[in-house]
Amino acid sequence: MNHQLIMTNAGLQAAFDANNNGIDFNIKYLGVGDQNYTPNPEQQHLVNERARVQFNQFKKVSDTAFSIVAVVSGDEEYFVNEMGIYNDKEVLIGVMSNADKPITYKPAGGQLVQPLTLDFNMLPPNSINIVTGVNNLNILVDDQLAALATASINTMTRQVQQLFRLSKLESMLNQTGA
């Protein structure tokens, strides 16, 4: 299910202020909570935030869009019904929630690995930076790395097949007494 990011007025103002002052606009945190509602641009925080984590990985998709991954850990179990995107100054930039449906589920004692694709097309192109934490994941693999991994696996498979053939030939030679 897709949930739309509702930009907050404070988030838009922070982005435009950063752009006008020539400083970086850094998006850094994902907040998750357990309340269902219809998001409001006047919001300044989630209704019932349960966790806030730094992003672990991102990939720039376009001048305004990013694929982002965050990992939420902890002992608690709950349905994630609200998500908030925060900048490095902890201003709520945008909110996702639905009055009727959960977004996802956070298992007890486990991790929620949450991928998001966010398009900030209402902001100037190339005006956003994503800040990741030190526990950087390498989940998002680009096409070149995937092709390299596939070629390496294929090469290893051929080498193992050759070893089996060689072993079989040596066994046949040993049986003939050569």
Which residues face 53 on adjacent strands?
A: 30
Domain ranges of the chain: 6-130, 141-178
| Tokens 């995937």 -> residue | 146
- 3-class state of residue 103 by DSSP: coil
pLDDT at res. 143: 66
d(CA 50, CA 27): 19
pTM of the model: 0.73
d(CA 56, CA 138): 9
pLDDT in tens, 125-146: 888 888 887 665 554 455 666 7
pLDDT in tens, 14-55: 999 998 888 888 999 999 999 999 999 999 999 999 999 999
Q: Which of 4-8, 97-101, 139-143, 160-164 has the lowest mean pLDDT?
A: 139-143
Structure tokens at 72: 């939420």
Q: How far is CA 19 from CA 15, 46, 47, 145, in A?
A: 6, 25, 29, 34
d(CA 96, CA 37): 9
Residue 116's closest CA among 56, 73, 63, 26?
56
